[in-house]
Amino acid sequence: MVLWMGLQALRDEVIQYNSVPNCSGRQLDLVLSGRAGVSVRAGDEGLQPVDEYHPPLDISVQVSSEPSSSRLPPASPPLYDDEHNQIFKQWNFNKANFMQMYYLLGNIDWSDLYVLNDPNIALEFFYSKINDVFYDCVPIKKKKCKKFRYTYPVWYTPDIISNIKLKYALHKKYKLSKSASDYQAFSLCRAKVKSDTMVAHDRYRDRVQDHLATDPKAFWSYFRSKRGNSNNYRIVKNGTALSDQECANEFARYFHSVYSSEAAALDAETASAAAAPSAACAHLGLLEGGAVRRALARLPPKCSVGPDGIPPFVLRDCRFILCEPLVHIFNKCIETATFPEPWKLTRVVPVPKGGGGTEASDYRPVAVLSSPAKVFEAAVHNTLYEQLKAHLTDAQHGFRPGRGTSGNLLHLMSNLVPAVDAGLQVDVAYFDFRKAFDTVDSDVLLLKLAGRA
């Protein structure tokens, strides 16, 4: 068990660079390194008589003159500091005092918020109140220099993890003392860990199975855990594996390259004047509390935390006490036609396409928004969709409630099967637009929206 966990940690930390074959066409000698700039080639001669199964190797390592601390990526800061500068915070909600947190959130005085008309100032006030509560009830994630990067399965309880660490300590103690009593303590702890792990795994498996219809994400998470993590690639450029910071820069460069280099004008008045008249007109008025509460209730409690550091389950659980201040902020955004600056900041996560790979093009960017921005987007979408859904064609199955790929295939089969049964020729053409959403012309989209509102 210790050897397997050590190999898991080693695989996550280092890369094997030796590709020089021996007489059997294999590599028995591994060259492992956790840094970039390592190259391996066949050596001219060895210090000892050459073993055909272990040929001599010439290894070169690029050493930077910069100190190691200057090459490390900066730590993630909080969303707002004492000077109200926009930065990033990482809260450790696994150790939060939820009873106190919900009590303090329910007793916040929002009266000063309702006199603020600037959406950015109102949102800053909202975040300051929320963060004050978080500072009292939620610890900050500590940066740790992990020498052992083993990730425990999701069904491991805190007691099991604690006993695993105790087992390693007892085993180390026995190795030093060779005492029978120390071995007995280690053996009992090992048996307890094994028994508790089996019970916890069975309970987790049964819980996933019982809630398959209501929580399919847990099932697929369990399914992936049984298959193992196959995406352990590092980004390689010009034959060299990139460091973490270099990978981030390469992803940023590639994701930015797909967008147009020309900034959109986004002139609402020009778009309204040039828009063709349409019978399908929608009006976006001020949002009501019921619409915002419904959007809060539909927040997925397990989605990723955005740049503001507020998890969606906090907004969802406190929707009845946070609805009123959020409605005020949302309506000020609509009245002033302003989208607050903090909500324009997103956390971009590279998601592998299929099995992933070593190129940046093997990944697609997923932008994680702040939770209040998601609620605002959902509330506005629901308001406009109710007014425009009657004008949408039945041939559109994407991005509509109750429709999807299954309905699209059924619609296709309802037209295809009768034609095939009648002996007619049927041709089907599929189109896949590369980077369709990333390359949308914002001015053209604004012109089309202006013709509907």
Compute the average pLDDT of residues 259-284: 75
Compute the average pLDDT of residues 285-300: 92
Question: Which of these, 60, 57, 14, 15, lies nearest to 39 by C-alpha position?
Answer: 60
Compute the average pLDDT of residues 93-109: 91
Q: Quote the pLDDT of residue 232.
A: 60
Q: Quote the pLDDT of residue 126.
A: 96
If you average pLDDT over every residue of the chain, what do you get? 81
Give every CB contact of residue 364 below 8 A, 6+ residues apart in sequence.
Answer: 350, 351, 353
Q: Quote the pLDDT of residue 343.
A: 93
* HEC readout, 117-159: CCHHHHHHHHHHHHHHHHHHHCCECCCCCCCCCCCCCCCCCHH
Domain boundaries, the chain: 2-61, 73-143+232-252+278-391, 158-227
Question: Which of these, 348, 351, 330, lies nearest to 339 by C-alpha position?
Answer: 330
Tell me which residue has tokens 């220099």: 145
Provide the pLDDT confidence category of residue 6 given band limits of 50, 70 and 90.
Answer: very low
Contact 293, 316 (CB under 8 A): no
**CA–CA distance, 2 with 168 (Å, rounded to integer):** 9
Q: Percentage of the chain with pLDDT > 90?
A: 30
Whole-angstrom CA distances from 139 to 81, 145, 181, 360, 396 are: 16, 18, 40, 35, 47
User: Which is higher by pLDDT, 217 or 129?
Assistant: 129
**Greatest mean pLDDT range, 28-37, 317-326, 358-367:** 317-326
Q: Quote the pLDDT of residue 149.
A: 54
- Longest CA span, the chain: 89
Compute the average pLDDT of residues 356-373: 86
Q: Quote the pLDDT of residue 14.
A: 66
Compute the average pLDDT of residues 337-362: 85
Provide the pLDDT confidence category of residue 323 given band limits of 50, 70 and 90.
Answer: very high
**Greatest mean pLDDT range, 76-80, 124-128, 157-161, 381-385:** 124-128
Give every CB contact of residue 229 below 8 A, 6+ residues apart in sequence.
Answer: none
> CA torsion, points 305, 306, 310, 316, in degrees to nearest 10?
-70
Tell me: pLDDT of 338 over 50: yes
Q: Note the pLDDT tens digit of each residue in 163-203.
A: 999 999 999 999 889 889 989 999 999 999 999 999 999 99
Tell me: pLDDT of 286 over 60: yes
Tell me: pLDDT of 23 over 70: yes
Provide the pLDDT confidence category of residue 230 given band limits of 50, 70 and 90.
Answer: low
Provide the pLDDT confidence category of residue 364 given band limits of 50, 70 and 90.
Answer: confident
Q: Quote the pLDDT of residue 288.
A: 93
Provide the pLDDT confidence category of residue 328 given band limits of 50, 70 and 90.
Answer: very high
Whole-angstrom CA distances from 253 to 115, 245, 303 are: 42, 12, 26
Q: Quote the pLDDT of residue 372.
A: 94
Q: Quote the pLDDT of residue 54.
A: 78
Tell me: pLDDT of 220 over 60: yes
Give every CB contact of residue 73 below 8 A, 6+ residues apart in sequence.
Answer: 244, 245, 248
Give every CB contact of residue 201 below 8 A, 6+ residues apart in sequence.
Answer: 153, 155
Compute the average pLDDT of residues 216-232: 71
Q: Quote the pLDDT of residue 144.
A: 59
Q: Quote the pLDDT of residue 324.
A: 95
User: Which is higher by pLDDT, 14 or 398?
Assistant: 398
Compute the average pLDDT of residues 251-280: 77
Q: Quote the pLDDT of residue 34.
A: 67
Q: Quote the pLDDT of residue 406.
A: 87
Compute the average pLDDT of residues 5-14: 48
